[in-house]
Amino acid sequence: MVTIQRLITAALVACRTATGIPTIEIKGSKFFTSEGNQFYVKGITYEFASSLSSSYLTNGQQCKIDAKLIGATGANVVRVYSIDPTLNLDECMQAFADEGIYVICDMSTPTFFINREKPIWTLNLRNQFAKVLDGLHKYDNLLALFAGNEVINDVNTTIAAPAIKAVIADMKGYRDLMQYRKIPIGYSSTDETTTNLLQNYLDCGNEDIAADFFALDNYGWCGESSMAKSGYDALYARANGYDIPIFLSETGCNHVKNRSFNDQVALLGRDMNDRYSGSIIYEWTMGVNKYGLVEYSNDQATGTPKLLADYTALQSRWSTLNPVGVKATAYDPTLTKRDCPQSTSGVWLVEAKAGTEIPTLGLSGFTAPTGRQASATGRIPTSSIIVGSGSSSDSNKLESGRSGGSTKLGGGAIAGIVMGAIFLFLVMCGILLFLWRKNRPKKEVTVNPGDDAPLKGELDATSRDMTHQPIYQELSGAKYTQELGPSHAQYELRTDERPGELPDQRDEHQHLDDTGHYAPEFTDQEPAAEPSPHVQAQRRREMEWLEMEEMRMRQRREQLMKQGGAG
């Protein structure tokens, strides 16, 4: 029975070829669909306020609900901060593809990331990042991958730049070795004083080691602002002549009570759309930072959510913004890569070398496949970096068999064979779909709150060995600095012994006034530069999780003591 269900599932995947979605390709500083139309990112960050895991895109039924609602805003992209590539993502990826929505995903996970304080690119990290690429490459609606997210957040952490570039170089090498389509691999940066230097650093050097695109998290445009007041004019100037796509990977300031998303008019309109490829709005679900577009009635974020005022405002704003751009065939860019920035004390702590200082690990231990890799829709993907046009006639040749002779068929005969094969294929798809729906198991897994079995990740932190435990485990409050989340700058536990902490902040709605006190929640004043809002949201959720774990352990200890006393 299991074998039959596997065959049915495989056939259903093949039947989805008619519902495929064009892949996204890069030419110069712009994204294009494989059909040659310029692509602008109109995205939303997609995660759940209560989640501390990397198991996104696994609830197919929920993805179908959310994908329709996200698509109704006019969005064509969701950003996912972490996935577990060992889990089945087919239903969710197909649900988004059916709505014309692409996915951009971070390669880092709660367990595997570049530590900004001790930025070491190891074979273990390389192999885990490669697994993310293995798990996602087959989906045509995978737009791009982030090699890191806000790893560098000040001058001292610029020492992590070579490790970030090594991730990009090795993962591009692995992608090409495995004959995957050229999925763009880039970086998501915080927007602060070192950003321009980092942008140039990741762009310098040859294409084998340089980023395919650059993105940044920026919340400078608040309410009824302007290009000059928000600093968007500086962002636009920085992108002049840039040779790879650039876009905002997080935006949507909420320092005003009701967001109008006026910055989208600038980003997708004539002010910026010749140099910028769009932006991603933070965020889908309502959390402690009050950036949500929708709100669920339960902590699991399941069911149909309530649409909030910001959802309607974004939908209204995007409905008027549909830039067409330029056709790939009419676009002939004359762009050059940036020079590597010079090492400067107190400004940039990396030597100005295009590639010699990058700690790449190469591809040792990986084995190239013997054939080209098919996509989830059953199609053999083509190169995703547009370099010209042309086709091979090899696939159109009919071989006659062992004799080596040729078989000539008339055009009508060939057409008849093709139509007959298509008809039989569709009939088989229908039969298999019927059998699959009839025979699929309907099982629910329940957990008894009273069970005394230890929870996942409840091992003693001092006895853990990263090489002998499951790759994707729940955050356990152990000694590891965690990179996850929109700013997953890092999932960081605040103790004096753990490096890499961001400055402590209150809710991202608030800022210090001249007296050193926190101002009211909403203000008309332009906000000061600050890390992206998800850092604090993730930290709060982590502390709540740790508090629940402590309470559960205390109750368990008391229970064991009572049992011991009774014995």
Contact present, 194 and 158 (Cβ < 8 Å): yes
Rounded to 5 degrees, φ, ψ at 368 are -70, 145
Q: What pLDDT does 558 receive? A: 75
pLDDT at residue 233 above 50?
yes
The Cβ of residue 510 has, within 10 Å, a number of other Cβ atoms equal to: 17
User: The whole model's pTM is what?
Assistant: 0.69
Dihedral sign of CA atoms 490, 501, 197, 363 in order: negative
Rounded average pLDDT over 220-247? 96
Rounded to 5 degrees, φ, ψ at 348 are -145, 120
The three-state (H, E, C) secondary structure of 9-53, written as one string? HHHHHHHHHHHCCCCEEEECCEEEECCCEEECEEEEECCCCCCCC
Q: Is 150 assigned a catalytic role?
A: yes
The percent of residues above 70 in pLDDT, for the chain, comes to 64
**Beta-carbon contacts of residue 34 (< 8 Å; ≥ 6 apart):** 22, 23, 24, 25, 382, 384
Paired residues of 251 in beta bridges: 281
Higher pLDDT, 52 or 250: 250
pLDDT at residue 149 above 90?
yes
Pick one of 3.40.50.720, 3.20.20.80, 2.60.40.1260, 3.30.700.30 as the CATH number of 1-387+464-567: 3.20.20.80
Q: pLDDT class for 387, splitting at 50, 70, 90?
A: very low
Catalytic residue among 150, 474, 483, 492: 150
Contact present, 22 and 140 (Cβ < 8 Å): yes
Catalytic residue among 250, 283, 492, 508: 250
Cis peptide upstream of residue 283 (ω within 30 degrees of 0): yes
Quote the CA–CA distance of 429 and 378 in Å, as a whole number: 14
pLDDT at residue 392 above 60?
no
pLDDT digits (tens, 9 = 90+) for 76-96: 999 999 999 999 999 999 999
Q: Which DSSP string corresponds to 165-232? A: HHHHHHHHHHHHHTT-----EEEEEE-STTHHHHHHHHHSS-TTTS-S-EEEE-----SS--HHHHTH
Dihedral sign of CA atoms 127, 130, 135, 138 in order: negative
Rounded average pLDDT over 507-518? 39
Characterize the bridge pairing of strands 306-307 and 294-295.
Answer: antiparallel
User: 3-state class of 97 per DSSP?
Assistant: helix
Q: What pLDDT does 370 receive? A: 82
Dihedral sign of CA atoms 56, 62, 66, 67 in order: positive
Q: pLDDT class for 497, splitting at 50, 70, 90?
A: very low
Quote the CA–CA distance of 314 and 73 in Å, as a whole number: 7
pLDDT at residue 396 above 70?
no
Q: Is 117 assigned a catalytic role?
A: no
pLDDT digits (tens, 9 = 90+) for 334-353: 999 999 999 999 999 998 77
Helix count and strand count (H, E) for the chain: 12, 13
pLDDT digits (tens, 9 = 90+) for 466-478: 333 333 333 333 3
pLDDT digits (tens, 9 = 90+) for 93-139: 999 999 999 999 999 988 899 999 999 999 999 999 999 999 999 99
> In angstroms, what is the C-alpha Rg of the chain?
25
